[in-house]
Amino acid sequence: MRINSSLRIIIAFLLTLPLSGICQVAGDIIIKTANPQGWILKTQSSAYQIIVTKEGVVKPVFYGPVEQAEFAQKNARWYEGIEEVPVRGGLPFKTPMLEVVFSDQVRDADLVFTNAEIITVDGRPTLKITQKDRFYPLEVVSFTRILAEFDILEKWTVVKNTGKKGNIKIDNLQSASIVLPVDQYILTHLAGKQKHELQLQETLLTPGLKTIQNKAFKANFNPPWFLVRPQSADASTGPAYFGSLHYSGNWVLNFDRSYDGNLQILGGINFWDTAWNLKPGTTFETPKFSVGFTQNGSEGAAQSLSAYVRKTILPTTHRNDLRPILYNSWFATTYNVNEQQQLELAKIAKEIGIETFVLDDGWFKNRTDVNSGLGDWEPDKKEFPSGLPAFIKKINDMGMQFGIWVEPENVTVNSDLYRAHPNWAINFPNRQGDANRKILNLAREDVYQYLLKSLSKLLKENNISFVKWDQNKYLSEPGWPEAPAEQQREMRIRHVANLYRLVDELKKQFPQVWFESCASGSGRIDLGMLSRMDQAWASDNSNAIDRIFIHYGYLSLLPANTLVSWVTHEDPHQPTSLEYKFDVSMNGVMGIGYDITKWSDAEKEIAKRKIAEYKTVRPLVQQGTVYRLVSPMTSNRSALQYVNEDASSAVLMSYNLGAYMGGSQLYVRNTPNVIKLQGLKNDQQYKVQKLGDTQNQTAIYKGDFLMNVGMSWPVYGANKSQIVLIKAVN
Ligand code: DGJ
């Protein structure tokens, strides 16, 4: 539904008038209602309403446009069948978010409202609703934290065994379940494989269950994110719901559409082959599930989520800092690393304007190929005869910071670590699995302590400013033979908890170090990881054209200051010019992964110029709002625009993916000849200037003109690109 802006203002004003039975608390954000007892949680554009029935059942009754909150309040009998915490128990016509087994083997839960409080969690109003089982010692607390300006609700659940004896076995506990009003919905999500990450998928949700999930620790390049819009809504400008999970282990998102048209969405830890034994007096807390609503379609959803991540999720240590321009050695030297060769790369890196030199894989002892040395986190003396600290000093003396690659969670069978502790790897006896590489069992305290000690030592003894934290293995044979039987299926959850503990502890000890998440590319870019890592490596596919598609998917859920993109010589197909590669790597955090010792002087000059250009637009790219103006999915062109907070500067990045005449409406892929900008001020004059234009031509246009009439497409010819600066002038 689209409502024009004056009507929205009137409705917003009407909503401020007292409604019968409504008194306002926590500002305008959480409104307590009477008759039925309940709450309306408001963000800028959305209202989420919960009631407690006469029988004490807690039910969500509305989630949608804030303008409809009053109507929803009057019609609060919707969704009769689904509770705020749907459980296994009663008639099985919903997807449960809580499935437990009590010690007498009763497998049905039956929750009743106990009390509710409005509290503040990290400065944000939060509704806390407590329920308990009508008979058994189980308490269930649901939290909804409101981030009104981002139109986001963070939802999570804590369960407690309040009994004195007997475990409660948790077969399944999701972070939250939400219910959308009756409609036909289209789901958008991402899927991919290595080097083909983050490809957008769309499907109509027909009655039944649609699941997207991760069962192997490393997601299949499908981050835990979704976008759902009514089929009748405009994809890029209409209402849409979206969400993202804060979890890096096995996760699941379920979309259960009833025949009557309600859509239930659940998300959280994937309890497939997993169970948790809740001992008396203990609690289990789920990760957060952030859900949102926007009136501005996929772009509104992407902008809300990105701003939310950039301003509230990324680690505070570097949240507001500009990300340095990186050099990374991987494609240049893979496992064959030595000091001399790295210094040669570093010398050129410095010359062209690189700020952080990252030594990727191959630097530690026993690491001769992919199947050796993992786990032995000691610098290789043969490769660095005068020691790693002395090598790093040379890099620092050149004026660059130094970064290093690690893959702490994994071990190769050919390593000192595995030879000493074969049982530290996750394994099943009598099952061979991968003969070369294993995942370490971080559920074990000794493994945790080993990794903490060796990584702290590495960071303490060396002036390391940046860590690329990789994970390249899918989980199989998920056994923990030494653990008591009742703990064996807890391994995955305990492993992830200790992974988080390890990163958190290292960050506490070394607060200035930057962290980059990598899992063979963007295999782990959930909000759990992104609350600990400053940025992420998007793909080992660095072909510039392919990257345009990967970046388009990436920017659906994460901000550009986390998107690391290198210029490399990797051109599996569609070779592009060096300028074009640089222009694509400007989409996020620029890096270079070339063997730059092979560059000619002319190529070095291009690199110098492009890096200097990137430095001028970096604050806009990394801290501005991104508008994906032209999609490479539907066009043979692509355009991104970044606008700063007060709309005084913007940068347009335009790319041709091929060259066709265009003009016929029968062409499947369109060729826009005019580009309309967004996010500018209507009455403001802007100077428009193509970066790198040797004639330094500029033109002045009003924001209104640039947005509603548009400017000519800035570049012609196959695989050509143009960066355009737009600056407010008086
Ligand atoms: C996989 C990563 O995606 C690459 O960028 C590189 O770091 C290699 N691992 C190193 O083994």
Condensed to tens digits (0 to 9), the pLDDT of residues 448-463 reads 999 999 999 999 999 9
49 Cβ closer than 6 Å to some ligand 1 atom:
no
Residue 697 structure tokens: 């031509």
Distance 512 CA to ligand 1 centre (A): 23
Give residue 663's pLDDT.
66
Structurally, at CATH architecture level, domain 5-313 sits in Distorted Sandwich (2.70)
308 Cβ closer than 6 Å to some ligand 1 atom:
no
E strands in 181-333: 185-191, 199-205, 208-213, 225-230, 240-245, 251-257, 263-269, 276-278, 283-285, 289-294, 326-328
DSSP H helices, 655-716, are 703-708
For residue 334, give the ligand 1 atom closest to its CA: 10
Kindly tell me if the per-residue pLDDT of 19 is higher than 60. Answer: no
579 Cβ closer than 6 Å to some ligand 1 atom:
no
- Tell me the pLDDT band of 3, cut-offs 50, 70 and 90: very low
518 Cβ closer than 6 Å to some ligand 1 atom:
yes
Inter-residue contact 57 to 164 (CB < 8 Å) = no
Residue 130 structure tokens: 């407590």
Give residue 575's pLDDT.
84
> Which of 257, 192, 266 is CA-nearest to residue 231?
257
- Tell me the pLDDT band of 662, cut-offs 50, 70 and 90: low
Distance 520 CA to ligand 1 centre (A): 6
- pLDDT tens track for 46-103: 999 999 999 999 999 899 999 887 777 776 555 567 999 999 999 888 999 999 999 9
DSSP H helices, 377-425, are 388-397, 416-420
CA distance 561 to 296: 22
CA distance 233 to 175: 28
361 Cβ closer than 6 Å to some ligand 1 atom:
yes
Give residue 10's pLDDT.
35
- pLDDT tens track for 513-534: 999 999 999 999 999 999 999 9
- Tell me the pLDDT band of 699, cut-offs 50, 70 and 90: very high
Kindly tell me if the per-residue pLDDT of 665 is higher than 80. Answer: no
- Tell me the pLDDT band of 1, cut-offs 50, 70 and 90: very low
Give residue 36's pLDDT.
83
CA distance 592 to 332: 10
591 Cβ closer than 6 Å to some ligand 1 atom:
no
341 burial via Cβ count (<10 Å: 0-12, 13-18, 19+): middle
Question: Can you tell me the mean pLDDT for 393-401?
Answer: 98
For residue 521, give the ligand 1 atom closest to its CA: 3
- pLDDT tens track for 182-240: 999 999 999 999 999 999 999 999 999 999 999 998 877 789 999 999 999 988 889 99
Angle 507-510-516 from CA coordinates, rounded to 5°: 55
Give residue 27's pLDDT.
57
Mention the CATH class of domain 326-623: alpha beta
Distance 560 CA to ligand 1 centre (A): 21
CA distance 231 to 187: 9
Instruction: Give the phi and the psi of residue 643 in degrees, each rounded to 5.
Output: -125, 135
CA distance 691 to 612: 11
Q: What's the first-to-final CA gap in the chain, in angstroms?
A: 38
Residues 6+ apart with CB under 8 A from 688: 698, 699, 700, 701, 706, 711, 724, 725, 726
- pLDDT tens track for 418-430: 999 999 999 999 9
154 Cβ closer than 6 Å to some ligand 1 atom:
no
Kindly tell me if the per-residue pLDDT of 634 is higher than 50. Answer: yes
Give residue 530's pLDDT.
98
Residue 696, number of CB atoms within 10 A of its CB? 8
Question: Can you tell me the mean pLDDT for 400-417?
Answer: 98
CA distance 271 to 252: 8
Q: Which of 331, 374, 537 to mutate to test the pocket of ligand 1 (most atoms within 8 A of CB)?
A: 537
Sorted by where each begins, the domain ranges of the chain are 5-313, 326-623, 628-728
Evaluate the CA torsion angle 87, 89, 95, 98 in order and state its sign: positive
The residue among 34 and 495 whose pLDDT is bigger is 495
- Tell me the pLDDT band of 244, cut-offs 50, 70 and 90: very high
Give residue 16's pLDDT.
34
Q: Round the average pLDDT of the chain to a whole number and report it.
A: 93
Q: Which of 193, 330, 568 to mutate to test the pocket of ligand 1 (most atoms within 8 A of CB)?
A: 330
Distance 197 CA to ligand 1 centre (A): 14
Q: What angle do the packed helices 491-509 and 445-461 form, to 10 degrees? A: 20
The residue among 673 and 187 whose pLDDT is bigger is 187
330 Cβ closer than 6 Å to some ligand 1 atom:
yes
405 Cβ closer than 6 Å to some ligand 1 atom:
yes
CA distance 477 to 479: 6
Give residue 107's pLDDT.
98
Give residue 561's pLDDT.
98
CATH code of domain 628-728: 2.60.40.1180
Kindly tell me if the per-residue pLDDT of 637 is higher than 80. Answer: yes
Residues 6+ apart with CB under 8 A from 629: 639, 640, 641, 652, 675, 676, 677, 678
Measured by CA distance, the residue closest to atom 3 of ligand 1 is 520
Does the predicted TM-score (pTM) go above 0.75?
Answer: yes
Residues 6+ apart with CB under 8 A from 618: 322, 590
Give residue 76's pLDDT.
59
Residue 658 structure tokens: 């091929």
Give residue 258's pLDDT.
92
Question: Can you tell me the mean pLDDT for 104-125?
Answer: 98
- pLDDT tens track for 527-560: 999 999 999 999 999 999 999 999 999 999 999 9
540 Cβ closer than 6 Å to some ligand 1 atom:
yes
568 Cβ closer than 6 Å to some ligand 1 atom:
no
- pLDDT tens track for 253-291: 999 999 988 899 999 999 999 999 999 999 999 999 999
Question: Can you tell me the mean pLDDT for 614-621?
Answer: 98
Residue 215, number of CB atoms within 10 A of its CB? 17
